[in-house]
Amino acid sequence: MAQYTQQFLSSVLSQRGPAALPYAEDVKWHIRQHLVHLTEAHPSLQPKTAVFTHNDGRTVNLLQADGTIPMLYQGVTYNIPVIIWLMESYPTHAPLVFVNPTRDMIIKRPHPFVSPNGVVSIPYIHSWVFPASNLVELVRNLSSFFARDPPLYSQRKPSTSSASPSPSPSYTSLNSSMGSRPAATPPRGYPPSQTPPPYGSGRTMVEDPAEVFKRNAINKLVESLTDHVRELRRSREEEMEGLFAVQAVLRTREEELRKGLKEMQDEKEALEQQLQTVLMNGDILEGWLRDNKGKSDDAATTSSPEEAFETCDSLSKQMLDCTASDLAVEDTIYGLDRAVQEGAVPFDQYLRNVRLLSREQFFHRATASKVRAVQMQAQVASMATRAGPQYGF
């Protein structure tokens, strides 16, 4: 039976998909262990799955332990039928316990620990703390509290005999009328020699001290292991936080390196473009030197510097003359400045010559400005002529 229970729990707790039970994955092992220990300590309680309906109408498939709990009352052991539902938040929160009376049983009203609808509420459930609390201790507490004040009693009239005391009037009225309110007093009219009322078959529960010691040792070992796992998890989380911080720093450095590499690549491309420009200009200069090598040899043999330069048109020749005259006047004025500083030229003569030279320089510069404007217009007209066939002007 124990092996069958373990196989059943392993099967239902390992299901996936729509048929999976709504328990967290990290607590399914604890749920299995709690139910296995419960069935070992109380074979009358067997785990099964059933549909539970919440107060809001929701239905969910949950685990339950269905069976009877032994209760020692007035020297006789009775079995109280109960259902222990393991809710979705189990084992973090306590299970939901119901007494499950049969047709010939009725719930005592009022009862300090059982509501009229069968919900059990004892201090152990209210003070449930995981992992210290478990189902075995819960059943032990239920048996103890039920022994103080039985929650159920039989609706059948006990057999009258000379050996048994007569039941109380209120209880007799209950037997005569099945629908009347049950008596508040517990069923004290059942002697141990008679067959007990239908709480279930009576049997004496004697626990082996070795089993109790073993169970307590296992509980302490589980608590110690849980504390150790919690401490190990905390240290690993701190280590992970440190690794995450290092990872963030490494990512920042990676971004900086990528940015620096991109800047270096851009600079390399700019330098390569400049190199191409320099090489192209060098080729142009070398070509110009090859084309004008003969002209430079001829210019070296000519006696006049003006003959060393050949202009392409009259405007260019006029611009060359105006520029040369402007520069010559500029040099002459500079020479007069040096001469008047040294006292070689009288000051009044210096002013007269500078006035004449400045007038002449003005005319040269004005002429050069007009020639430049005409050349610009001619260049624009030439560009428009070349662009006309290309763009359909």
Per-residue model confidence as pLDDT tens digits over 90-147: 999 999 999 998 888 888 888 888 998 899 999 999 999 988 899 999 999 999 999 8
User: How far are the Cα atoms of 7, 222, 224, 269 from residue 131, in angstroms, in the given order?
Assistant: 24, 8, 10, 67
Same domain, 12 and 158: yes
Q: Count how many domains the chain has.
A: 2
Give dist(CA 170, CA 147) in Å, integer: 22
Same domain, 333 and 195: no
Give dist(CA 126, CA 133) in Å, integer: 11
Q: Is residue 213 situated within a structural domain?
A: no
pLDDT (average), residues 304-310: 63
Q: Which tops the pLDDT comparison, 208 or 85?
A: 85
Q: Quick one: pLDDT at residue 172?
A: 31
Give dist(CA 215, CA 209) in Å, integer: 10
Q: Is residue 152 situated within a structural domain?
A: yes
pLDDT (average), residues 155-160: 57
Per-residue model confidence as pLDDT tens digits over 249-276: 999 999 999 999 999 999 999 999 999 9
Q: Is residue 301 situated within a structural domain?
A: no
Beta-bridge partner residues of 51: 61
| 315 pLDDT tier (thresholds 50, 70, 90) | confident
Domain housing 111: 2-204
Q: Quick one: pLDDT at residue 299?
A: 58
**Which residue from 61, 37, 66, 41 is spatially nearest to 50, judged by alpha carbons?**
61
| 187 pLDDT tier (thresholds 50, 70, 90) | very low
Q: Is residue 197 situated within a structural domain?
A: yes
Same domain, 156 and 18: yes
Q: Quick one: pLDDT at residue 185?
A: 34
What is the rounded radius of gyration, in angstroms, for the C-alpha atoms of the chain?
A: 57
Q: Are 389 and 380 spatial neighbours (Cβ–Cβ below 8 Å)?
A: no
Sheet with 76-86: list strands edge to edge: 46-53, 59-73, 76-86, 96-99
Same domain, 196 and 324: no
Which of 146, 181, 204 delimits the end of a domain? 204
Same domain, 22 and 157: yes
Tokens encoding 83: 């259902």
| 363 pLDDT tier (thresholds 50, 70, 90) | very high
Which of 204, 230, 252 delimits the end of a domain? 204
Does 173 score more than 50 pLDDT?
A: no
Q: Quick one: pLDDT at residue 157?
A: 55
Exposed/middle/buried for residue 130 (C-beta within 10 Å: 0-12, 13-18, 19+): middle
Which of 185, 204, 223 delimits the end of a domain? 204
Residue holding tokens 């549909």?
A: 51
